[in-house]
Amino acid sequence: MSTTRKIISDAFIFGGISQDPDNQQVAMALDGLNSIINQYNAEKLFHWLVQEVAYTPTSDSITVGVGGNIDIPRPISIDKIYVSIGGESFTEVQQVAFQDLRIYSNGSSGYPSVFSYSGYPIATIKFDVSPTTEVRLFIRPAFELLTIDDDLEMPPEYETLIRWALTAHLCRIYSSPNIEIATKARDEEMDRIHQASYSRTPTTVSNRALRMDFYNLGWC
């Protein structure tokens, strides 16, 4: 595991820019690194952060956010929602974005449809039929922005991506001739991550579970 400081130092060296960047250069690179993280958060790239959360509602709605039914920091998105059918299988509720703010879907084969409202800091997921058993949600939190002495706690392939992305960013700023090398390395690592990404399903899904394509619910 690397630190933020080590990633920045590597980026200056790989970019052929400096072996010993000064404090002003390091501060500028940290801003650039956090901009890259913000971009990748918005692109929902950090797949390993997705959490499976189980909740049994007592009404026709679930609130997500600090102080809500699911009491967590506001996530970037809810990637999938599954409803338990008779306690034996889970059926995915298909979701479609509408006007960026309201999310709705039509039920399939008599299963509940869901409306999701992008309220801040708490979002509401409202079912047209109150689920009688467990609901499972796949929630995508944001990767937190870094300070200079933080450990970079992410899988090694993402660490490599971040390192090369920052190198390419610095190469552009300093007009380094290494920009083509850095950009190619970043893009190749990005391709590997996309190829390795996968779609998760609830851990207790049976063969009866209905699989559907899903639409990310962006709340940003």
Is the confidence at residue 113, as pLDDT, over 60? Answer: no
Q: What's the confidence (pLDDT) of residue 103?
A: 35
pLDDT tens, residue by residue, 161-204:
999 999 999 999 999 999 999 999 999 999 999 887 654 555 54
Give the residue from 178, 180, 163 showing the smallest Cα distance to 8: 163
Distance CA 107, CA 96 (A): 11
pLDDT tens, residue by residue, 50-73:
889 998 888 878 888 888 899 988
Cβ proximity of 45 and 36 under 8 Å: no
Is the confidence at residue 93, as pLDDT, over 90? Answer: no
> 6-12 — which CB contacts under 8 Å span 24+ positions?
6/152, 7/33, 7/152, 7/159, 7/162, 7/163, 7/166, 8/33, 8/148, 8/166, 10/163, 10/167, 11/163, 11/166, 11/167, 11/169, 11/170, 12/170
Sorted by where each begins, the domain ranges of the chain are 4-45+145-196, 50-141+199-218
Is the confidence at residue 49, as pLDDT, over 50? Answer: yes
> From the CA atom positions of the chain, what is the Rg in Å?
21
23-42 helix and 156-173 helix, angle to the nearest 10 degrees:
120
Question: Which pTM was predicted?
Answer: 0.74
157 pLDDT band (50/70/90 cuts)? very high
* Chain mean pLDDT for the chain: 78
Which has the higher per-residue pLDDT, 69 or 118? Answer: 69
Is the confidence at residue 20, as pLDDT, over 90? Answer: yes
| φ, ψ of residue 40 in degrees (nearest 5) | -70, -35
Q: What's the confidence (pLDDT) of residue 97?
A: 41
| Percentage, residues of the chain above pLDDT 90 | 40
Where on the phi/psi map is residue 99: left (φ > 0), alpha (ψ -120 to 50), or beta?
left
